[in-house]
Amino acid sequence: MDKDEIDLQRIPPEAPWGPRTDSAFHGVELLPEDLGEALNKTAMRVNEKYSSLPAEEKGIHIINIRAIEDIGYIQRESTLLNSLCQDPDANCKHGLYFRDGKRKVDYILVYHYKKSSVSKTLTKRIHHNDSSARSIKQDHQLPGKGGHLAMGESETHMDYHEDDKRFRREEYEGNLMEAGLELERDEDTKIHGVGFVKIHAPWNVLCREAEFLKLKMPTKKVYQINQAHGLLKKINSVIQKITEPIQPKVAEHKPETVKRLSYPFSREKQHLFDLSDKESFFDSKTRSTIVYEILKRTTCTKAKYSMGITSLLANGVYSAAYPLHDGDYEGENVELNDRKLLCEEWASYGVFYKYQPIDLVRKYFGEKIGLYFAWLGVYTQMLIPASIVGVIVFLYGCATVDENIPSMEMCDERNNITMCPLCDNTCSYWKMSSSCATARASHLFDNPATVFFSVFMALWAATFMEHWKRKQMRLNYRWDLTGFEEEEEAVKAHPRAEYEAKVLEKSLRKEYIHKKTDKEKLTWKDRFPAYFTNFVGIIFMIGLTFAIVFGVIIYRISTAAALALSSTPSGRSSVRVTVTATAVIINLVVIIILDEVYGCIARWLTQIEVPKTDKSFEERLIFKAFLLKFVNAYTPIFYVAFFKGRFVGRPGDYVYIFHSFRMEECAPGGCLMELCIQLSIIMLGKQLIQNNLFEIGIPKMKKLIRYIKLKRQRSLDHEEHMKKKQRYEVDYNLEPFAGLTPEYMEMIIQFGFVTLFVASFPLAPLFALLNNIIEIRLDAKKFVTELRRPVAVRAKDIGIWYNILRGVGKLAVIINAFVISFTSDFIPRLVYLYMYSENGTMHGFVNHTLSSFNVSDFQGGTAPNDPMELGYKVQICRYKDYREPPWSENKYEISKDFWAVLAARLAFVIVFQNLVMFMSDFVDWIIPDIPKDISQQIHKEKVLMVEVFMKEEQGKLQMLETWKDKDMKKGENCNNHSPKLSRSQSGSMSSCHSYHIDV
């Protein structure tokens, strides 16, 4: 056969049900006569628009074309002229528009296909046609570049899976076109085996969906925003001038004096809206949201299997679906767009000192992401006063360290206090003065100012929550979300793909058994195995965390005993520091690894529950991930704060683990210093390694891998890669958006470090502030340059995260009360000062907290191997506890001093907790959730909206009265005519009463 000939094969009548598509020519679909009425209508509609056949030749054909590389619909003159230009992609702005250069691309669907496969069912008998025939039938053939034909022999193998995917795509795209969307396919791309479907929503579809979604759009009505007067106005102007250098240079961030009245869009009331520029009335964010809503509710039906875009993505029919970025963000000749503006004024480390352009972020990414960055900005701002106060508390500790009598007594070698061994056999007696450095350092964090700082941070947390609620209300007003209810969104929420598949599986199973076709849903019985697995899995993970912490405890005890055998005095003296530092590093590594593991396990546990909606899935995932990560991050810290040194026993009667490892003790200065070291290393290490290095390093590694792959492809196909990539190809190579849960989780865990144990580490807010300054720009850069553009989601608050923040804030009050009373020496000092001190000073406090032990009472095999290491024979050694001396009748029993201190500690916890809770609730009550000016503006908007509709109704009534008057006048004129009217003139009389009313 000649290479220019075209072979046409007609489908025989006995062909099986279902469309057949030539794999060598993608997009050409063959429809049997019995496909169904709805699909036939779609095919007819598409054929009329895109088919290149004359009306009389529209039979169903299969094509086998040689030496033709690209066949599409018959191009219009403008398209033919554009194809003659040097840069054919310039007209469509490199993928931002359809090939006609007029219709904007609102959404992209991506799919994989095989170019070289040929369907086995197409090898039928040949109907020879005229070789000059060039007309082809293209059922559901989308316009654009597509359908490269591969040369080669016919293959007998048929990929049923690929054919099924192709059939679903074609049916789904037909249904999208039935819904009013316009589609264009492009398979002639630089990415081999990947096709793109460009989607455009015309004006009528945008209006219809905006009305259905109740999107608030700006009307023509403009009103004045209430401005401050008098002194307040002067103060605001001064603040505005001072903060002008740190304001971003974007139009959306400038203070507004007027605002457009917004109203849910209605096609019947289009005259109320400012439609002077229809192209920009719906911005790109709104257009992509509307298209995504259509994609979610448009189904692809095969038998009883209904699939939306989520199911199609989950089943691999489409590999990706995303809206496009506005354009490039770097380059010399790049047009200014919102993405480039965000990159310059927001996603740059050079503008770290500036406010965020939150309104522009919301305009580009939507309300949900805008609220996250607004919350992160408010949190970071509120950390500034907390950091200042924390630094002052730390400096106070540094200034008073030389005046602290207990640490001076511990460092005084003249006291000659001999301490009991820290371990059996290998450890010997030691001087208390050897722990002088630890005692002095602990005063930096364990001083009276720490109590004040704990109270301050509890009130700070309450103030932060109230400040955020007020800021949130201002944003709701500015972004026209005041009337938006998330319950409405929940009603419109579409079921997840996994839920639909599970329901389908259940219905098919029941139909097979009972022959019933009732609509099914998942009940608690269906989910019980998943619930049980969740319960067991979470308990196991928490148990695993405890086991790892226990393992680290064993490591500390055994390492301390091993280092005590050191032959050098310096090695023996640094045992405590070495053991603490290495154990904390091990804890840090384990926490980072388990964080990633627990994140994956939490997602898997949520998936097997099969929640119905995305919102339900997200809330369950957040709960599980937060629970597991909270336990993982804070268990080592809880151990040091509340358990270490509590269950040691006493010399001669120690508590042992596995009958060989003696429980470790706190330093003579208390465990607060060790708690501070543990908290600081875990917090800083987690932020530096997990948050920053992972967020910077992993995307860079992925980008490098993609670059290497593209470089290899470029060497294989140089000409193909010389062309400039289309916008949708560039965005396809970006990372998909994975949700805000990891970002929020990272900040909530940090909020816990800042508030829960702040009594032991006053510098935590400062380190959190420094981290967040980098974190904001890091996240901004990731969203703008490294992620595909997410679909804009409307939201009026931060959701479940607010409740988690409140819970952490309440828990922080309780934990800090216990840290101050039980971990620090604040309460024992007060008890000694007011009950036991002879001269009203702290002299003698150290001796008061130490008990005596007669070395002859050691159990067999536990006494030191070298009792003369200090150079003299020890008869009495000291240990930290409140017990009776060996010369007492009840020797080594708990003394009354212990009960006095314990009572004081419990009393402090109760008083501190209730007092601070009351003060927090008072702050919550005294600060209104809605700012007064915002409530006035909202009320003003409602009044203005009523006035607008009243004027509209009055205008309609006046128009009707005017038309009635005209009608009466015309009637009188007709009655003044001669009564002798012929039958032919009677029609003219009736015409006097006929007129056209256009409301």
Give 884-894 pLDDT, tens digit per residue: 888 888 888 98
pLDDT for residue 314 is more than 50: yes
**Residue corresponding to tokens 């309104």:** 359
* 737 or 865, greater pLDDT: 737
SS (H, E, C) 478-505: HCCCCCCCHHHHHHHCCCCHHHHHHHHH
pLDDT in tens, 188-241: 766 777 889 999 999 999 999 998 888 888 888 888 777 767 787 788 788 888
Residue type, 436: C
- Write the burial class of residue 884 (CB in 10 Å: 0-12 exposed, 13-18 middle, 19+ buried): middle
Query: Mean pLDDT throughout 705-732?
Result: 68
Least confident of 156-165, 352-361, 932-941: 156-165
pLDDT in tens, 900-933: 999 999 999 999 999 988 988 888 888 888 888 8
Distance CA 327, CA 723 (A): 17
**Residue 865 pLDDT grade (very low, low, confident, very high; cuts 50, 70, 90):** confident
* pLDDT score of 40: 43
* pLDDT score of 975: 58
Q: Which residues contact 431 (CB under 8 A, 6 or more apart)?
A: 413, 416, 417, 418, 419, 870
Residue 439 CB-half CA count within 13 A: 19
The DSSP call for residue 209 is: H
Tokens of 45: 């509609």
Query: Mean pLDDT throughout 756-766?
Result: 89
Distance CA 231, CA 689 (A): 49
**Residue corresponding to tokens 């907290």:** 849
Query: Mean pLDDT throughout 737-763?
Result: 89
pLDDT for residue 117 is more than 80: no
Number of residues assigned to the chain: 999
To the nearest whole percent, how much of the chain has pLDDT over 90? 19
* pLDDT score of 253: 63
pLDDT for residue 972 is more than 50: yes
C-beta atoms surrounding 745 within 10 Å: 20
Q: Shortest CA distance to 397 belongs to which of 714, 709, 676, 51?
A: 676
- φ, ψ for residue 101 (rounded to 5)? 75, 5
To the nearest whole percent, how much of the chain has pLDDT over 70? 77
Query: Mean pLDDT throughout 767-791?
Result: 91
Q: Which residues contact 483 (CB under 8 A, 6 or more apart)?
A: 216, 264
Distance CA 971, CA 706 (A): 81
Least confident of 115-119, 169-173, 313-317, 533-537: 115-119
* 526 or 922, greater pLDDT: 922
pLDDT in tens, 503-521: 777 777 766 665 555 566 7
β 107-112/182-186 pair status: unpaired
pLDDT for residue 383 is more than 90: yes
C-beta of residue 806 within 8 angstroms of C-beta of residue 770: no
pLDDT for residue 42 is more than 80: no
* pLDDT score of 601: 92
* pLDDT score of 726: 82
pLDDT in tens, 693-714: 777 777 777 777 777 776 666 5
pLDDT for residue 288 is more than 70: yes
* pLDDT score of 202: 92
Distance CA 507, CA 502 (A): 9
Q: How far apart are the first and last CA of the chain?
A: 67
- Write the burial class of residue 609 (CB in 10 Å: 0-12 exposed, 13-18 middle, 19+ buried): buried
- Secondary structure (3-state) at 656: strand
**CA distance readout (Å), 591 to 545, 630, 764, 910:** 9, 10, 19, 33
Distance CA 732, CA 978 (A): 80
Distance CA 803, CA 796 (A): 15
Residue type, 172: Y
C-beta atoms surrounding 626 within 10 Å: 22
Distance CA 358, CA 998 (A): 44
Q: What is the maximum span of the chain, computed from C-alpha positions, in angstroms?
A: 147
* pLDDT score of 910: 93
pLDDT in tens, 240-267: 888 888 888 887 666 677 888 888 888 8
Distance CA 207, CA 286 (A): 11
* pLDDT score of 201: 92
C-beta of residue 686 within 8 angstroms of C-beta of residue 633: yes
Which helix (H) or strand (E) element contains residue 111? strand 107-112
pLDDT in tens, 447-496: 888 888 988 998 999 899 999 999 999 999 888 887 776 545 544 566 77
Distance CA 503, CA 499 (A): 6
